[in-house]
Amino acid sequence: MGNGMFLTDEEKKILEGEFGETLQKVMKTVVLYGQTFGAKRLVKLDGPVHLVTSFGIPMLTPVFEMMEELIKSNIKAQKPFTVDPRPLDYCNVPVNILKKLVFKVMYGKQKDYEDQLRAVGLKDDNAFTCACYLPEVGNIPKKGDILAWAESSAVVYANSVIGARTNRNSGIIELMSGILGKTPEFGFLTDEGRRATWLVEVKTSKLPNPQVLGSAIGMKVVEDVPYIIGLDRFLGTGLSEDTKDYLKDMGAASASNGAVGLYHVENITPEAAEMGRQLLKEGYKTYVIDDEEIKRVINSYPIMWKNINAKPKVCFIGCPHLSLNQLYYWTERIVKALENVGQKKLKITTILCAPPDVIDAFKRDEKSYNRLIQTGAKITYICPLMYMNNPLCAKEAVITNSNKLRTYSTARFYLDDEILDRIVRGY
């Protein structure tokens, strides 16, 4: 089954079934996947995998069966892994009885699936987040590390902001790779695959909203690699905490509004800082983003609400999950905005989504945590998209500052300032 792919003796033995039928299937899957993309060999992983499938939807029967087979054969990932967010949190995202019934059917296998994840190597019970690379969570790759991740927002962050190397793997392939400790070498794992075919010139008069900039880039370059210039005018050089947060949100939008898995930002991201415009391939295309273009992109978003004048019922902030820095930022902004109008509580149910470990860290700062909670805002660890996947929730007027959530659900997008005004004034 070599088919153009070099395999070591040990890999061949696994493929021939010398280490059991289940491991043989795992190897077969990864090799076939690699062959599909023209990989010439498997390479060793340097860090844990991050899984995209975090929810126990009963119709995922083949996944549950496969997990059962792995568990029976005593096979697990070589390094403890992280996984995308949990779907439900009735304490902080309360729902009525009808919605609960639907959720019970939708995520009826959640507990069983989480047991399976633990058995095959889940890091711990807090390991459920799409922002696994945040310091509090601890699945933090180093520059140059070879990885096999699947969640698009995490893949684009690891590749671009950290300079690690991962393809945007299909769900379950990342688990198979984690078990073998190896992944096929192609695409973003190669120097050539990391070069840019687009020069994106940001010529706006002020720092654009990251979610809109990412969306504009994603819609234009789709799955290509952009080299972005002009952001250092506003962000400075290098990677401060604020810049990392900005790039996290920009990347997630580019990955969901298009399929960007890697971008370079001049004088900011590690490979661009090192190699500069040498990263651009000959014959690259150019895309200029100015104030007009940002406006055009925002105006192009369809409104999916039945009644476009409905009063919002829920607001989600934090898709991808918020960093600790961003939780403080939103706390400050919400508290100040309420003070400015002499009000104590928000008028719209506002839910901030963050990794469980980040929430724990924030709660340890009781003063700040209480300041936020007293405004009526809630903090949860769920993925808001999994909430919106409930058809009854999808009918509600939900607002968000996330372009990923807007793209994949009926939620309506607003810029941060508008979101803040709306949750304070209730419109």
State the residues that interact with ligand F3S by CB under 6 A: 84-85, 130, 153, 252, 319-321, 353, 383-385, 404
Under a CB-based contact definition with an 8 Å cutoff, are residues 422 and 316 in contact? no
Q: Which pair of tokens denotes residue 371?
A: 């300041």
Task: Give CA angle at 400 (360, 265), nearest 5°.
Answer: 80
Report, in Å, the least distance between residue 80 CB and ligand F3S: 20
Report, in Å, the least distance between residue 347 CB and ligand F3S: 24
Under a CB-based contact definition with an 8 Å cutoff, are residues 147 and 164 in contact? yes
Report, in Å, the least distance between residue 109 CB and ligand F3S: 18
Rounded distance between C-alpha atoms, residue 191 and residue 185, angstroms: 11
Return the H-helix or E-strand segment holding 71. Answer: helix 61-72
For CA atoms 282, 152, 163, 147, the dihedral sign is negative
DSSP secondary structure, 130-178, as one string? S-TTSTTT-----TT-B--B--HHHHHHIIIII--B--BPPTTHHHHHH
Our CB check for ligand F3S shows the closer of 151 and 232 to be 151
- For 216, the 3-state DSSP assignment is helix
Rounded distance between C-alpha atoms, residue 40 and residue 285, angstroms: 29
Report, in Å, the least distance between residue 240 CB and ligand F3S: 22
Our CB check for ligand F3S shows the closer of 137 and 383 to be 383
Our CB check for ligand F3S shows the closer of 123 and 195 to be 123
Our CB check for ligand F3S shows the closer of 245 and 293 to be 245
Report, in Å, the least distance between residue 87 CB and ligand F3S: 9
Rounded distance between C-alpha atoms, residue 120 and residue 346, angstroms: 42
Q: Which pair of tokens denotes residue 44?
A: 């060793």
Our CB check for ligand F3S shows the closer of 204 and 402 to be 402
How remote is the C-alpha of 415 from its chain's centroid?
19
Amino acid 15 reads L
Our CB check for ligand F3S shows the closer of 22 and 326 to be 326
Report, in Å, the least distance between residue 57 CB and ligand F3S: 15
Which of 362, 380, 360 lies closest to 370 in space, CA to CA?
362
Return the H-helix or E-strand segment holding 14. Answer: helix 9-15
Our CB check for ligand F3S shows the closer of 195 and 404 to be 404
Report, in Å, the least distance between residue 274 CB and ligand F3S: 28
Our CB check for ligand F3S shows the closer of 87 and 208 to be 87
Rounded distance between C-alpha atoms, residue 84 and residue 100, angstroms: 21
Our CB check for ligand F3S shows the closer of 24 and 349 to be 349
Under a CB-based contact definition with an 8 Å cutoff, are residues 137 and 126 in contact? yes
Under a CB-based contact definition with an 8 Å cutoff, are residues 68 and 109 in contact? no
Report, in Å, the least distance between residue 316 CB and ligand F3S: 9
Amino acid 251 reads G
Report, in Å, the least distance between residue 314 CB and ligand F3S: 14
